[in-house]
């Protein structure tokens, strides 16, 4: 069981129409403070890999993280999210308050 396996395991559990931040994934995978590894792990996942919903992982700002090496897979990511009903704000940001994934919401209030 490698570190990345734990990350992928968490990412696989993100339900459609919801998103999670890198830091959140790291925390759930018992890797608090190691958010970079999450991004690095996802970097190794091929965009066409449908086994892992990599597109549901975004940064803490609610935006799709970009990198010189992505070259368009970021646009693809946005497309996939919109397809699942995730709406982007005027500045191309996702409202985490509404779409953030709540893994274990035992205390359901209101």
CA separation for the pair 97, 58 (Å, rounded):
13
H-helix segments, 1-110: 3-11, 22-28, 35-43, 73-83, 96-99
33 binds DNA (CB under 7 A): yes
Taking contact as CB under 7 A, which single stretch among the options 8-16, 39-47, 82-90, 99-107 is the one that binds DNA?
A: 39-47
Length of the chain: 110
35 binds DNA (CB under 7 A): yes
Site residues, DNA (CB under 7 A): 3-4, 21-23, 33-40, 42-43, 45, 47, 54, 59-61, 64-70, 73-74, 77
């Amino acid at each position: 069981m490698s570190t990345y396996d734990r990350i992928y395991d968490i990412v696989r559990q993100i339900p459609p129409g919801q998103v999670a931040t890198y830091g959140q994934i790291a925390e759930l995978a018992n890797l608090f403070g190691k958010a970079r590894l999450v991004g690095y792990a996802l970097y190794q996942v091929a965009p066409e890999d449908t086994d892992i919903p990599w597109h549901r992982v975004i940064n803490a700002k609610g935006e799709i993280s970009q990198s010189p090496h992505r070259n368009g897979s970021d646009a693809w990511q946005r497309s996939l999210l919109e397809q699942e009903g995730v709406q982007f704000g005027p500045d191309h940001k996702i409202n985490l308050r509404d779409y953030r994934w709540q893994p274990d919401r035992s205390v359901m209030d209101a």
